[in-house]
């Protein structure tokens, strides 16, 4: 077992895999850099085919005993895991801020508390699932949610800890064993999570981590026929590859993908409130899949709204995410910076007007100024494709029908925002084709509610019963109410 560690912000982190309750090093390593100042954080073990195989074999071996426990017997493990995250809260905050550029304020007040809740809430909710009776005239149907088997969880770099625990909670609570493939660009808080699992006493093999690239480690993992489920959050191209690999083995997938969500400002909207909320779309440097990135503004309130939002954007502090006053931090990686710059440049070359921003920010190499573009065609690349950076677009509309047509006029359908008179905004929201949509608000979430997208934004739903529908094999045990006698006279 490897005991080697790297140190980030004064906290020790293992750079190695976690398989069958032990740290496992690899001869193949990759460099991990801090997005804030491009400093080397450490060299991380890359998962090979042998590591993937070892993790799957460990998860398979641990599955029978873990699955045999009741939800009530599994619950203390998840509660202890949540408590261990709480004990290491400062480490999680500092490491993820350095590793992924996540705002320290967001880590402290949002991500870490939510990560703990993801585990404890689903552990509690699992208690309600077993043997739900459904009465019909002929029989009692005992609907069971049985563990499916070995689950692969693949998480993105824009919120590694929150999204890992969001999937891990229901997967473990349902009785599955798990292999997490963390993001190559931000793997360190998943490594800390393994320390928590070890301290919480999870049996060896119940929770495993294999690090590495998507094209290498991830591809080997999702192609394996021994998996029972694959849960992925990330890009559309990667999801298509995963779906093809999983389809060859008929392994069910849950895919939470990108967004190009509308932010609709109706004529009767509270413009100041809408503008203040609009400025929030730049948080995490715009690297948020559920953000409203396409602003659709009624033409009569366009000037007033733009003036109000410009004022709020001017107040945003761009800088080091480890400063709790910072509101816009760095873009995760130089390749992502190039992607963002390319989108903006091509849009401007095609005739788009820059309302504000439109250039790198002087704070650092991986910083880009909060940007708003206007005067684009609906068919343009910048309107149709996800940028995943601090870049928004603005279009105007004349009436509700045009607003709805523009909102629905992309291949994405993850989220959305509508500001206006409550009844009016609700009526518009109901006609927008999307997995969820906020009326006069943003970011309100409940673990019991469904989350996911339509069209290219995903397949399936997470949250509440929907998570367990995916992570479980649902079985109907049929008990007749009257004595049953076989008859061959008819079928």
Q: What is the DSSP letter of 317?
A: P
Report the alpha-carbon distance of residue 176 to residue 77 in Å, rounded. 13
Distance CA 172, CA 178 (A): 7
With beta carbons less than 8 A apart as the criterion, state whether 171 and 151 touch: yes
Q: How many CB atoms lie within 10 A of CB 165?
A: 29
Separation CA 126–CA 113 (nearest Å): 20
Provide the token pair at 148: 């499916």
Closest CA to 243 of 263, 257, 260: 257
List C-alpha distances in Å: 61 to 3, 172, 206, 231, 243: 24, 15, 9, 21, 26
Active site includes 289?
A: yes
Q: Tell which phi-psi region holds residue 331, choosing left (phi > 0), alpha (psi between -120 and 50) or beta.
A: beta
How far lies 69's CA from each of 30, 117, 151, in Å? 38, 22, 17
In three-state secondary structure terms, 375 is coil
Of the residues 34, 93, 253, 289, which is catalytic? 289
Taking the C-alpha atoms of residue 118 and residue 112, their distance in angstroms, rounded to an integer, is: 10
Report residue 125: phi and psi, to 5°: -65, -30
Choosing from 256, 267, 327, 386, which is the catalytic residue?
256
**Whether the Cβ atoms of residue 284 and residue 436 lie closer than 8 Å to each other:** no
Q: In this structure, what DSSP letter does residue 200 have?
A: T
Q: Which residues pair with 417 in a beta bridge?
A: 263, 438
Distance CA(427)–CA(67), nearest Å, equals 45
Q: How many CB atoms within 10 Å of residue 129?
A: 19
Q: How far is the C-alpha of 245 from the C-alpha of 218, rounded, in Å?
A: 11
**Using CA atoms, how far apart are residues 439 and 269, in angstroms rounded to an integer?**
11
Tell me the DSSP string of 279-308.
HGGGGGGG--TTSEEEEEEEGGGHHHHHHH
Give the catalytic positions in this structure: 256, 289
């Amino acid at each position: 077992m490897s005991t080697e560690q790297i140190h980030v912000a004064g906290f020790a982190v293992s750079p190695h895999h976690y398989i069958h309750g032990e740290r496992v090093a690899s001869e193949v390593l990759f460099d991990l850099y801090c997005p804030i100042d491009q400093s080397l954080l450490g060299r991380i073990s890359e998962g090979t085919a042998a590591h993937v195989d070892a993790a799957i074999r460990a998860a398979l071996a641990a599955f029978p005993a873990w699955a045999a426990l009741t939800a009530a017997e599994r619950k203390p493990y998840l509660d202890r895991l949540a408590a261990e995250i709480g004990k290491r809260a400062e480490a999680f905050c500092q490491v993820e801020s350095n590793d992924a550029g996540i705002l320290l304020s967001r880590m402290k007040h949002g991500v870490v508390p939510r990560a703990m809740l993801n585990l404890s809430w689903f552990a509690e909710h699992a208690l309600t699932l077993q043997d739900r009776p459904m009465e019909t005239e002929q029989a009692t149907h005992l609907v069971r949610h049985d563990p499916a088997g070995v689950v692969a969880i693949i998480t993105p770099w824009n919120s590694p800890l929150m999204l890992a625990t969001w999937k891990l909670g229901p997967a473990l609570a349902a009785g599955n064993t798990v292999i997490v493939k963390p993001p190559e660009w931000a793997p360190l808080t998943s490594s800390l999570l393994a320390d928590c699992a070890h301290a919480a006493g999870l049996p060896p093999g119940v929770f495993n981590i294999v690090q590495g690239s998507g094209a290498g480690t991830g591809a080997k993992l999702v192609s394996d026929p021994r998996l029972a489920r694959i849960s992925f959050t990330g890009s559309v191209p990667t999801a298509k590859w995963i779906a093809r690999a999983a389809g060859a083995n008929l392994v069910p997938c849950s895919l939470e993908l990108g967004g190009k969500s509308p932010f609709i400002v109706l004529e009767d909207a509270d413009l100041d409130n809408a503008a203040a909320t609009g400025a929030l779309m730049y948080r995490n440097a715009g690297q948020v899949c559920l953000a409203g990135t396409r602003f659709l503004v009624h033409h009569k309130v366009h000037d007033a709204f733009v003036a109000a939002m410009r004022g709020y954007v001017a107040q945003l502090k761009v800088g080091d995410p480890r400063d709790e006053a910072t509101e816009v931090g760095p873009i995760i990686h130089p390749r992502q910076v190039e992607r963002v710059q390319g989108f903006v440049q091509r849009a401007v070359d095609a005739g788009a007007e820059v309302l504000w921003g439109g250039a790198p920010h002087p704070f650092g190499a991986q910083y880009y100024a909060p940007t708003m573009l206007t005067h684009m065609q609906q068919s343009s690349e910048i309107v149709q494709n996800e940028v995943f950076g601090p870049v928004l677009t603005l279009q105007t509309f004349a009436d509700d029908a045009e607003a709805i047509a523009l909102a629905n006029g992309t291949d994405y359908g993850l989220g959305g925002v509508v500001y206006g008179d409550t009844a009016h905004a609700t009526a518009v929201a109901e006609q927008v084709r999307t997995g969820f949509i906020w009326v006069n608000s943003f970011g309100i979430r409940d673990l019991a509610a469904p989350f996911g997208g339509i069209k290219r934004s995903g397949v399936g739903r997470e949250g509440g019963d929907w998570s367990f529908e995916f992570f479980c094999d649902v079985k109907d045990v049929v008990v007749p109410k009257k004595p049953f006698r076989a008859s061959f006279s008819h079928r």
